[in-house]
Structure 1
């Protein structure tokens, strides 16, 4: 990361090797924790994941460097745990699963790679964050700018996702991607780094983050998360440092954690009001649909806004891109928090009143039944 900083405004124009080092960082840090877990006397304190990944015997040099340099995810991921790699190399090739042909799943990955790469190559020429630095973009109407942001955010998904799809295809072809049978079908998603349908249809920031860069997310969850009221923001700050030292990474990922805290608060106060008070799993027709649409649009637009610093990297560029939309996402952040501070207690009271009315109605029905029987 330091070398990349020293090479100027745009960094090196040659092959960027920081991606491979980022994957190595995930592997080596998780390896250290797994060795420590293997030496621990009381295994009951470990999570199920830690128990499955703990290392109680050092690998040979060939095994260790074979895992570190595994070609499927060496450059940009997806990453994998050592014990998963060990089980694959030691047991997969002597099991009946090795006879399951991976070609159909591999071809599917390649097809999706071609589609996403096509989008990046052709649509990305017009829809990218650097275009937002032009004066022509600032003169567009606000609704047009918002549409451009929304499309650009999708293109950025394809930019990173296309590379991961190609790497996932290599993992599937090697057999490492096999993940058992579900609903009668062979699954090849062990090393999937993006769950595209869940990502594109997600209605919350938490969902969008959870189905993107899954390998890094699992590393953050299993090895870097801490128990704290600010754990989410701290985790995103660690993710920023892992990505690099450019300010854009910190702006995007730390802000994402801050917005996710707000989104969780909104969900806890508003979502129960669009669900049936009698049965919280039953939505109120119309209101729940409106809630879902609002969450979908706001979440995806916000991600598109926050991805600008991640791509532009520098403060001056990011501010110019955000100024073109009048910092609308920042204003809305404070407006929504202000609304919750003023009316949050009222919303909680409404929820309680609905529960009380339901309980009273249930008691009245029970009393009527008892009276009828008497």
Structure 2
């Protein structure tokens, strides 16, 4: 139990972590978190080499590994993470795997998480027991809905393709839940994965032995990418930082410089999350949890190991609209929001209303600070405008002419600059959290995003429809 030993060394002032954190220029909790994420990779190698054959004890092994990481990072506060496990086990036994169980699980876990935020959250970026708990919350809520779907399946209800893959027909035992929740590769920062996936992994459904070479290669690739993004983050935040954006000196620079600086800051700030996800994914692959079937190629079938992929790098780096960011960033959380929130709100009969409540859920899931709600509101108004604007443009002859001419390079540069700049504008409140801080940054940017996106439905859309009327494809055909 290395984590427990390191924690005891910290209590008696013998741990080297504070010294190393000072050299690197980070905090002790942040360095402990990073080391714990990295520790998942050698644990995966040890498990595959020495422990995989112990079929009966896999849940116990994973639970103990996760406990060790939890205790090292959060001390006795790790006990908070046991509460949702006990609750869903008891409610499922008492109420059965139906709608009531799913509703109670959702409400209880969100209230428990929000209470944790109230008790622990400050103005800074906090690393407390609520960090893994937010990931745990999604996993438990998803499990309650998967159990409900499993009951529907037993009753003969036809499920969607995605729902059929995750539906759970048999009630999980307590050891299954503990292994699932504390799985060491992604206990701290995700990615999330379904209970069905975990069951298949534990039962050796995936061809890990026969595909170990490919598995190890993909894991190493993700590990190196994660380390590369971690270095880029450390370099980037020393050049582009929020402290400067809050200074009077920043307000004295040109408005164009301020917008692009904010965009650069946001891009490097996101590397913090990307690096953690890549390192965690590397461990998931190395354990064998990420198997995702085979792909047919010229040389035959090649095994795929991207089931726990939380970031699509090429789409993220090449984004030319905000939908690209949504598709490529925090993929597993977006999948949860789509499958377990957005689609379950179909009864509202309005996709924009469903989208609004989905984003509200995600904001609540992140915390109680105003910055989170501002960021997700920004996402809502930007996506709303983008979809309607694109729908208008594709119906015109101008759209086809531009993308079939040499001007498309200039359009690409414009769109890339647009997404780059306004990603910074959107993300600033998320990082600053406190109202007066993000309002100060928005003041220095002259509230540009509000001026562009908020008036769209009442001002820009009617004017643009009128201007493009003569270029309509239908008008030309007539």
TM-score by length of 1: 0.87
CA contact (8 A) 1:275 1:288 kept: no
Match of 1:239 among 321, 345, 362: 362
Question: What is the SS of the residue equivalent to 2:203?
Answer: helix
State how 1:359-370 maps to structure 2 within 5 Å. none
Note if 1:121 corresponds to 2:234. Answer: yes
1:343-363 superposed Cα distances (whole Å, 9 cap, x missing partner): 32443x3354x33534x6xxx
Report the Cα offset of residue 67 of structure 1. Answer: 0.8
Report the Cα offset of residue 102 of structure 1. Answer: 2.4
CA distance in 1, matches of 2:198, 2:373: 32
CA distance in 2, matches of 1:147, 1:74: 35
**2:204 corresponds to:** 91
Report the Cα offset of residue 342 of structure 1. Answer: 2.4
**1:182 corresponds to:** 295
**2:423 corresponds to:** 303
Question: What is the SS of the residue equivalent to 1:182?
Answer: strand
Aligned residues: 351
**1:365 corresponds to:** none
Question: What is the SS of the residue equivalent to 2:403?
Answer: coil
**1:24 corresponds to:** 136
Change (3 A) 1:103 1:333: same
**1:366 corresponds to:** none
**1:322 corresponds to:** 442
Report the Cα offset of residue 116 of structure 1. Answer: 1.3
Match of 2:149 among 25, 37, 54: 37
Question: What is the SS of the residue equivalent to 1:189?
Answer: coil
1:228-259 superposed Cα distances (whole Å, 9 cap, x missing partner): 23222221111101111111111101221121
1:173-222 superposed Cα distances (whole Å, 9 cap, x missing partner): 10112223325343221101000111111221112111110110000000
Alignment root-mean-square deviation, CA: 2.3
CA contact (8 A) 2:206 2:291 kept: no
**1:63 corresponds to:** 176
User: Relative to structure 2, which stretch is displaced further, 187-196 or 295-304?
Assistant: 295-304
CA contact (8 A) 2:167 2:196 kept: yes
Gaps of 5+ in 2: 1-113
CA distance in 1, matches of 2:289, 2:122: 39
Gaps of 5+ in 1: 361-374
CA contact (8 A) 2:117 2:368 kept: no
CA distance in 1, matches of 2:121, 2:190: 26
Match of 1:341 among 445, 448, 462: 462
**2:274 corresponds to:** 161
User: Relative to structure 2, which stretch is displaced further, 130-139 or 241-250?
Assistant: 130-139
CA contact (8 A) 1:98 1:175 kept: no
